[in-house]
Amino acid sequence: MSVRGKRIIITGAGSGIGAAAARMLAEAGAELGLVDLVEAETRTLGRELNAHAFQADVRDETAVETAINAAVRALGGLDGLVNCAGTATVQTLENTSLTDWRRLVDTNMTGVFLTCRAAIPALRASGKGAIVNLASASGLTPSFAGAAYSASKAGVVMLSKALSRELAPTIRVNAVCPGAVRTPMFSQMTGEAIEAETAVGAGYALGRIASPEEIGTAIRFLIGDDSAFITGVALAVDGGRSFH
């Protein structure tokens, strides 16, 4: 009941954590606007969930403003924004090109800035809005993913905290910081082999990596009314990787 009837936009909704969160929020009764770079995936999920689907590259200011405004119109207002769009790399800083650095920072951090900025007026108009930004445990303590990725996600953590202060008391802002999650992005970084999951999970207190739904549970909690007295939090959902 915490999210029933709430009008929520999710970026990066086409796959992975974004898709899992979308399914969980739809099941809980939320009305959704789905935004993703890959239009086919978003529209397929939109049909499945009876949700509105929009295509946008979160690095593109005009595309973001167009998609967010269209979603707000389709939903008849906005109560929540979930930023799941992101990308990763496994490169050391010495092997990171300027192109890759910009891709990581522009997608992971600037994309969050652009979507939040576009959504703030509608969230404020609702009288009680919430934003959940997907950061990473690598934004709390660095990991094998590399300095560029860790820096971009640390930026999301601090941007979320700063926004929680700027937008209070009308809009709450929190970040979710997952460890490794069984998603297409994880497979792209480590390969499909079960050995990769086992090797990474062995470094976690709980001895495994997460399912997308386990991260979706945290997102659902922070975007809903059950967390009405929580803002400015960077919630580690990482199986004991960082112990924050």
Task: Give the pLDDT confidence of 146-186 residue by residue, as tens digits.
Answer: 899 999 999 999 999 999 999 999 999 999 999 888 666 65
CB 76 within 8 A of CB 66: no
Task: Give the pLDDT confidence of 43-52 residue by residue, as tens digits.
Answer: 999 999 999 9
Q: Kindly report the pTM of this predicted structure.
A: 0.93
Q: Of these residues, 113, 149, 204, 221, which one is catalytic?
A: 149
Domains along the sequence of the chain with CATH = 7-237 (3.40.50.720)
CB 37 within 8 A of CB 13: no
Angstrom distance (rounded) from CA 128 to CA 195 = 45
Long-range contacts of residues 52-55, Cβ cutoff 8 Å, at least 24 apart: 53/13
Q: What are phi and psi of 173, to 5 degrees?
A: -135, 125
Residue-level pLDDT at 210: 85
149 in active site: yes
The tokens describing 11, both together, are 């970026």
pLDDT cut 70: percent of the chain above it? 90
Distances (CA, A) of 91 to 99, 146, 175: 13, 5, 24
